[in-house]
């Protein structure tokens, strides 16, 4: 026989190997846990995600830190956003987890698995008043009444709008007092079928969840910890968001987006003048600096209530850190007004420190080429809702992605999509207890 049976056995094994490659990597890493040499004298390892601009901003802040506390040294590890969670997971499993770790919505993936240090005591010892320094989001990254991360970057989702188009249509300036009917009317006026659209759409959780909370709904009931996505306010809000695409047609469909080019989303479409309104975070500003569109920003419109998603990230200390005191000292400084100013000076993001948010450095950034209403961020922060940062955050997001796929294609209504999601969430989300 040309191809012997011994051959296939080996192939089969190889086949399996590739399938279980991840498992293998981890096991291999797990084998040498506890041998990681990282004495308290070594540099603190800090992991953050992002690209080159982020590296620049973080490094500048670390330089300030070391200038002030020469006894501390911090090694910055920048990891591309896509692979951040996996990389950190492997580092921790391999026994060489970071000391300082950037976290966001998925903070409780780690805190619930006992990977982060509760920071309340360290904060008290350092005399850090979270609510004074960060306002309503001071204890955003909490799990079972303990704080696990100090807010570092923060900023509400804001409305980017085409100022020239709004003025031309005689619509005035959109603001937080506009209700759904009024903003929808504006979308309709600004839509030229097949050419430009009034709104970029609300397919991302941060967007349609804002409408849910504006409508008096919740995704997870805060008191019982149970998913509540089939309640009328949730269904109504999602249906409204979907109808913008399929009924009033003021939002491009997925097909129309795909035709604009590979990987074009709301941010790019807005910069290209294809949509008149886009709701997203601070980061879109950098993509608009060279745009021909005459744009400005405003706080999000309202439903029955005011509510908006906040983005951001916090800094946490991993359980395995050999020098938690040093790490906290670093975090305390990095989130102080002095270091946070760098975040806006480099145009990276919105600093979480309220003092900086209200300073001229933030309201009139030196790099901004045109007058933009930067007070939108501070105004929005007054009505940020508390999103459910549950330990099963990733699975919950996947359930929404899967369950709403047909809805966002216009093949299913909100009620039936959410009913299916609810039953899936019930198996995923374990109420805290």
* Residues numbered 24-63 forming contacts with another protein, rule: CB under 8 A: 24, 26-28
Give me the least distance between CB of 93 and another protein, in Å please.
5
Binding mask 76-105 for another protein (x = CB under 8 A): ---------xx--x--xx------------
Residue 109 makes contact with another protein by CB under 8 A = yes
- Looking up tokens 């060489």 gives 96
Q: Cα Rg for the chain, rounded, in angstroms?
A: 24
- Contacts of residue 59, defined as CB under 8 A and 6 or more positions apart, other chains included, come to 76
Stretch that binds another protein, among 21-29, 141-149, 290-298, 345-353 (CB under 8 A): 21-29
Taking a C-beta distance cutoff of 8 angstroms, is the pair 92, 86 a contact? no
Instruction: Give the separation between CA 287 and CA 274, rounded to whole angstroms.
Output: 14
Nearest distance, CB of residue 285 and another protein, angstroms: 24
Half-sphere exposure (Cβ direction) of 66: Cα atoms closer than 13 Å: 12
CA 225/CA 429 separation, integer angstroms = 8
User: Phi, psi at residue 229, to the nearest 5°?
Assistant: -90, 0
> C-beta of 367: minimal distance to another protein in Å?
32
Chain positions 253 to 282 lying near another protein, rule: CB under 8 A, are: 254-255, 258-259, 261-263
Nearer to another protein, 20 or 432 (CB): 20
Binding mask 375-394 for another protein (x = CB under 8 A): -----------------x-x
- Name the nearest CA neighbour of 427 among 226, 217, 143: 226
User: Could you tell me the smallest distance in angstroms from the CB atom of residue 294 to another protein?
Assistant: 29
Q: How many CB atoms are closer than 10 A to CB 222?
A: 10
Closest distance to another protein from the beta carbon of 19 (Å): 5
Going along 186-274, which residue ranges are E strands? 197-199
DSSP-based three-state secondary structure for 116: strand
Q: Which is nearer to another protein, 254 or 386 (CB)?
A: 254
- Interacting residues with another protein (CB under 8 A): 1-3, 5, 8, 11-13, 15-20, 22-24, 26-28, 85-86, 89, 92-93, 109-110, 113-115, 254-255, 258-259, 261-263, 392, 394-395, 398, 401-403, 405-406, 409
């Amino acid at each position: 026989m040309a191809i012997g049976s011994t051959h296939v056995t080996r192939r089969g094994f190889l086949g399996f190997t590739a399938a279980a490659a991840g498992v293998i990597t981890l096991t291999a890493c797990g084998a040498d846990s506890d041998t990681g040499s990282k004495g308290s004298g070594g540099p603190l390892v800090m992991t953050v995600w992002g690209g080159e601009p982020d590296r620049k901003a973080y490094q500048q802040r670390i330089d300030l830190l070391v200038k002030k506390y020469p006894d501390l040294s911090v090694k910055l590890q920048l990891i591309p956003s896509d692979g951040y969670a996996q990389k950190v997971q492997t580092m921790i499993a391999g026994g060489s987890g970071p000391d300082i770790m950037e976290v966001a919505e998925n903070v409780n993936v780690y805190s619930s698995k006992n990977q982060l240090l509760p920071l309340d005591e360290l904060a008290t010892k350092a005399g850090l008043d979270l609510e004074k320094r960060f306002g309503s989001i001071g204890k955003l990254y909490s799990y079972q009444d303990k704080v696990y991360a100090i807010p570092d970057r923060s900023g509400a989702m804001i409305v980017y709008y085409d100022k020239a188009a709004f003025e031309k249509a005689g619509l005035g300036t959109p603001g937080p007092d506009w209700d759904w009917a009024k903003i929808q009317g504006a979308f309709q006026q600004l839509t030229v079928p097949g050419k430009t659209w009034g709104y970029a759409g609300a397919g991302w959780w941060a967007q349609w969840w804002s409408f849910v909370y504006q409508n008096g709904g919740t995704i997870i009931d805060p008191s019982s910890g149970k998913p509540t996505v089939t309640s009328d306010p949730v269904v109504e809000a999602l249906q409204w968001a979907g109808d913008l695409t399929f009924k009033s047609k003021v939002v491009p469909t997925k097909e129309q987006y795909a035709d604009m080019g590979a990987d074009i989303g709301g941010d790019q479409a807005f910069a290209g003048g294809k949509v008149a309104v886009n709701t997203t975070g601070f980061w879109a500003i950098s993509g608009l600096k060279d745009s021909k569109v005459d744009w400005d920003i405003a706080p999000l419109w309202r439903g029955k209530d005011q509510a908006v998603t906040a983005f951001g990230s916090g800094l946490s200390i991993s359980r395995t850190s050999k020098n938690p005191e040093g790490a906290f000292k670093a975090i305390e400084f990095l989130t102080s007004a002095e270091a946070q100013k760098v975040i806006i000076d480099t145009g990276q993001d919105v600093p979480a420190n309220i003092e900086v948010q209200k300073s001229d450095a933030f309201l009139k950034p030196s790099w901004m080429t045109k007058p933009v209403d930067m007070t939108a961020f501070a105004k929005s922060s007054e009505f940020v809702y508390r999103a459910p940062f549950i330990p099963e955050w990733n699975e919950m997001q996947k359930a929404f992605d899967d369950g709403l796929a047909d809805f966002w294609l216009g093949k299913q209504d909100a009620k039936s999509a959410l009913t299916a999601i609810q039953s899936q969430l019930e198996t995923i989300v374990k109420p805290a207890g």
